Amino acid sequence: MKSDDLRGIALFEGLTDEQLEASAALCLEVRALMGDHLTDESDFGYSFYIVIDGHVVVKVGDKVVADLRGGDHFGEVSLIEHERRNATVVAAETCHVAKVMTWDFDKFLDVSPLLRERLSATAAGRHNEEE
């Protein structure tokens, strides 16, 4: 993935060009078609995702609980908390997403203290919403 794909996304604000390059090097580029499941509720989580462009819906059971678009991210809770997926995420249209695999996730967090802080805060907030 190119660092330019990540530039302008709030998660990466304040990172240096070198840190953006390091982050991009750990991301796999994925094109999801409408209807593709990116995650399935209750599955083990092996990846973290950043929506570069497009639209995905987050469902718990049959209920849509969130709409995510370019710049949004998901999947961090299962990797940080070491829990199963808490939702199904489905592409609502063709999407371009960045995918970080579990074996690269710690390296991804180590790129910048800002990334670790932001994703840990997001995971804690989403985990608390479930309770």
CATH of the domain at 108: 2.60.120.10
Q: Please state the domain count of the chain.
A: 1
Backbone φ and ψ of 42, nearest 5°: 80, -5
Instruction: Decide if 85 contacts 79 (C-beta within 8 A).
Output: no
Structure pTM?
0.93
CA distance 93 to 101: 23
Nearest to 117 by CA among 26, 31, 11: 11
Dist CA 86 CA 126 (whole Å): 10
Query: Amino acid identity of 61?
Result: G
Look at residue 30 in the predicted model and tell me its pLDDT.
98
Q: What is the pLDDT of residue 129?
A: 65
- Return the pLDDT at 131: 54
> For residue 91, what pLDDT is reported?
99
Q: What's the pLDDT score for residue 128?
A: 63
Is 131 part of a structural domain of the chain? no
In this predicted structure, what is the pLDDT of residue 6?
97
Could you list the mean pLDDT of each consecutive 10-residue stretch along the chain, which spans 131 residues?
A: 95 96 98 98 96 98 96 94 94 98 96 94 76 54
Range of the domain at 44: 3-126
Longest dimension (CA), the chain: 42
Whether residue 104 lies inside any domain: the answer is yes
